[in-house]
């Protein structure tokens, strides 16, 4: 990077470019939720693989009904999971269950609530809708044909995607190895929640906010630590964490203070700096680098709002890139009211959602400073405003980053 500070878009691009690709592993179905697919899934058979009945009722020949017949002898029962029966005669019907194969010779299914049954005869009710050919039948191959692409490499697996893989007969899928992530806070002023506090101390909270966000986004191989503002201890602990994790996220110790040792120590440990500082507020002191073993290191400013904003804007996209995930289109939203941007920096403005005549829009919900976590309550994320000085007008379309 040049001496000019990178913009948020340039910083994200640099992170994506330098994110070390995680290895691929085969995981079983029960462990796939939240993983990123590293293979393409193609259909091994037609879906559905047969004409599938979608309502409990009776099946018969549509031509028989067209010919004037509205009562049929029940010739058998077609259960789900059983081989198909054959309609014996045009005057007959077959009782069918949801999920069953459509019996051979049948092309019409009438739900059970539209018939009356007596002495083995099914009578269509006079007040019921007229039967329609192939209604209540999920036709073979209508969802997908054998060989069709079901899921592309790079997609993140949620419940629907896992269901597709399972219905395709697969017990495992090739996905990006879940990254081992350590989250580290620094600073002598921080005390573990629940411990006694001196007047000059505060409870350690940033780490728990970061962990909560990571879990919310599907990451589970997580650990955390706290290191005081002590150069030898910081060097020792960071060396140990670099050896056992693919991703290191630090909060604090990254600015220009006398005890902000993090950039110095990281470079001593062989972590190559990609950039330090971004033209943004809050979170300008953000530091990003890559370790000698391919570890990605995100050193976030220690103010709570800065930590959470930088995590959302940069760390989560970086993790997605490391997993080989397809980059998602940035969500945009209109601003509910004008907002003045004073600094010559991009501004990350927390917002709540509201509605106007044009639809859903973002209502500014500024904090009282980058140390004010409380003001984030009720917000859905933040919009990115262009550098000032300027007034961003009401209805301006802006990128929205959700927590």
Q: Model pTM greater than 0.75?
A: yes
> How many other CB atoms are found less than 10 A from the CB of residue 80?
12
Domains and CATH numbers, the chain: 8-23+178-322 (3.40.980.10), 27-47+143-176 (3.90.105.10), 52-138 (2.170.190.11), 331-402 (2.40.340.10)
Residue with tokens 């309550």: 377
Ramachandran angles phi, psi of 187, nearest 5°: 130, 135
164 in Cβ contact with 41 (< 8 Å): yes
Predicted pLDDT at 204 = 81
**In this predicted model, what pLDDT tens digit does every residue of 144-154 receive, in sequence order?**
999 999 999 99
CB of 250 within 8 A of CB of 261? no
Q: What is the pLDDT of residue 353?
A: 97
Please report, for residues 20, 262, 277, 297, 319, the alpha-carbon distance to residue 274 in angstroms, rounded to integers and kept in the order given.
Answer: 13, 14, 10, 10, 16
The whole-number pLDDT of residue 29 equals 98
**In whole numbers, what is the pLDDT of the chain averaged over residues?**
94
Could you tell me the two tokens for 366?
């500024």
Question: What sections of 150-230 are H helices per DSSP?
Answer: 159-167, 206-216
- Of 143, 127, 118, 120, the closest CA to residue 110 belongs to 127
pLDDT digits (tens, 9 = 90+) for 288-308: 999 999 999 999 998 999 999
Nearest to 9 by CA among 282, 317, 334: 317
């Amino acid at each position: 990077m040049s001496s000019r500070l990178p913009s948020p878009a340039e910083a994200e691009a640099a992170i994506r470019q330098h994110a070390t690709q995680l290895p691929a592993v085969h995981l079983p179905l029960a462990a796939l939720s939240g993983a990123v697919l590293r293979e393409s899934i193609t259909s091994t058979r037609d879906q559905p693989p047969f004409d599938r009945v979608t309502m409990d009722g009776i099946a018969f020949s549509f031509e028989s009904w067209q010919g004037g017949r509205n009562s049929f002898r029940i010739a058998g029962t077609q259960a789900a999971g059983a081989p198909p029966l054959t309609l014996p005669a045009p005057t007959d019907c077959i009782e069918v269950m949801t999920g069953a194969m459509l019996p051979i010779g049948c092309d019409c299914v009438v739900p059970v609530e539209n018939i009356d049954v007596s002495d083995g005869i099914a009578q269509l009710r006079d007040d019921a809708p007229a039967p329609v050919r192939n209604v209540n039948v999920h036709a073979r191959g209508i969802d997908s044909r054998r060989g069709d692409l079901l899921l592309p490499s790079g997609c993140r697996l949620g419940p629907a995607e896992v269901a597709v893989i399972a219905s395709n007969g697969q017990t495992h899928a090739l996905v990006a190895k879940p990254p081992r992530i350590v989250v580290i806070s620094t600073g002598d002023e921080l005390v573990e929640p629940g411990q006694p506090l001196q007047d000059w101390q505060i409870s350690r909270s940033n780490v728990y906010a970061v962990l909560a966000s990571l879990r919310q986004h599907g990451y589970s191989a997580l650990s955390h630590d706290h290191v005081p503002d002590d150069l030898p201890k910081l060097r020792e602990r960071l060396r140990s964490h670099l050896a056992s994790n693919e991703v290191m996220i630090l909060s604090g110790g990254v600015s220009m203070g006398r005890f902000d040792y993090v950039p110095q120590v990281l470079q001593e440990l062989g972590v190559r700096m990609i950039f330090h500082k971004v033209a943004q507020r809050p979170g300008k002191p953000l530091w990003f680098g890559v370790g000698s073993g391919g570890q990605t290191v995100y050193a976030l400013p220690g103010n709570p709002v800065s930590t959470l904003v930088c995590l959302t804007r940069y760390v989560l996209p970086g993790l997605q890139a490391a997993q080989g995930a397809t980059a998602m289109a940035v969500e945009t939203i209109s601003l509910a009211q004008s907002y003045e941007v004073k600094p010559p920096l991009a501004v990350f403005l927390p917002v709540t959602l509201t509605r106007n005549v044009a639809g859903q829009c973002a209502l500014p919900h500024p904090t009282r400073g980058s140390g004010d976590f409380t003001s984030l309550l009720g917000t859905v994320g933040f919009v990115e405003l262009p550098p000032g000085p300027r007034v961003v007008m009401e209805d301006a379309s802006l990128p929205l980053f959700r927590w």
